[in-house]
Amino acid sequence: MNSLVNQLKALGEGNRFRICMMLLEKPLCVCQLLSVLDIAGGTLSNHLKILKNAGLIDQRKDGKWIEYYIAGDSAEDFIRKNADFLSDRELIDRDLDTIRCSDRTSCTPSRS
């Protein structure tokens, strides 16, 4: 039950839910997420940590970038099922439109 509660808490914050919805579309690096969300880098880092600790997302190194993605089929199913409860998808749809056109040309690689 703890796992379920942690996942629900993680998705219960608006920006974290938006992050998950964008990651359902495709894996993204921090700079791509920051280009959509109106939050500071440290805040995004905290959101990513919470989502990762809840088992909803994971990360991998992709060349010079750290890329975030949905952590597997069960996490994807969980997020999609919760997305079914959205009554207003306008912001999510705008995020997805932006991400679909996004690439890493203006990104600075991470220094991990």
Q: Is residue 108 part of a domain?
A: no
User: What is the predicted pLDDT for the residue at 96?
Assistant: 94
Tens digits of per-residue pLDDT, 51-83? 999 999 999 998 888 999 999 999 999 999 999
Q: Is residue 109 part of a domain?
A: no
Tens digits of per-residue pLDDT, 16-40? 999 999 999 999 999 999 999 999 9
Tens digits of per-residue pLDDT, 75-104? 999 999 999 998 889 999 999 999 988 777
Which pair of structure tokens corresponds to residue 64?
């010079």
The CATH number of residue 42's host domain is 1.10.10.10
- Phi and psi at 70, nearest 5°, equal -70, 140
CA–CA separation, 26 and 42 (whole Å):
22
Which pair of structure tokens corresponds to residue 51?
């989502």
Tens digits of per-residue pLDDT, 40-55? 999 999 999 999 999 9
Q: Is residue 48 part of a domain?
A: yes
Which residue is it, tokens 């959101």? 47
Number of domains in the chain: 1
Question: Which residue range forms the structural domain that includes residue 21?
Answer: 2-100
